[in-house]
């Protein structure tokens, strides 16, 4: 996940790392999702959803990478890579990138609310869904 530095609301040691990288692109965190969640609870909802959607991986198996980049002042960029187990060292890998417009300093992108409600309406329109409705 890449956002402008002012879009993060970090806690603990992550706050100091964000301040140390001021003015330049900086990788704030790269590792398992679980320890990241309490450090930026307002910024990792998409990652947490991925952990819930992949119960075999969960919060310890999902790898999170958080990047502060002043070059994207009005965007939140979320890149998701899913890799399956392959045979002979080869595996299927799918990457998706979402660019969500966001007001400078906003924690959540401006399209998030409508995308969420659109998903719920579509789910309800197709007879409901067990996980969401």
Return the pLDDT at 87: 80
Residue 64 lies in a domain: yes
pLDDT digits 0-9 by tens, 26-79: 999 999 999 999 999 988 888 898 899 888 899 999 999 999 999 998 998 999
Based on the structure, what is the number of domains in the chain?
1
pLDDT at 17 over 60: yes
Residue 116 lies in a domain: no
What is the share, in percent, of the chain residues with pLDDT greater than 70? 84
Query: Locate tokens 């790269």: which residue?
Result: 30
Domain limits for position 26: 2-108
Locate 71 and state its tokens. 């070059």
Contacts for 12-19 with beta carbons within 8 Å, 24 or more apart?
Answer: 12/38, 12/39, 13/39, 14/39, 14/40, 18/68
Residue 97 lies in a domain: yes
Residue 68 lies in a domain: yes
Q: Is 125 exposed, middle or buried (0-12, 13-18, 19+ CB in 10 A)?
A: exposed
Report pTM.
0.78
């Amino acid at each position: 996940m890449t956002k402008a530095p002012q879009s993060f609301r970090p806690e603990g040691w992550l706050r100091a790392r964000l301040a140390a990288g001021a003015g330049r692109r900086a990788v704030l965190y790269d590792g398992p999702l679980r320890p990241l969640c309490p450090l930026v609870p307002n910024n990792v909802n998409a990652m947490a959803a991925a952990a819930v959607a992949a119960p075999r991986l969960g919060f310890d198996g999902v790898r999170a990478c958080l990047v502060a980049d002043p070059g994207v002042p009005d965007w939140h960029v979320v890149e998701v890579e899913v890799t399956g187990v392959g045979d002979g060292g080869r595996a299927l890998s799918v990457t998706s990138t979402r660019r969500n417009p966001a007001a400078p300093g906003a924690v959540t992108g401006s399209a998030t609310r409508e995308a969420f409600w659109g998903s719920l309406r579509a789910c309800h329109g197709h007879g409901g869904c067990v996980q969401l409705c």
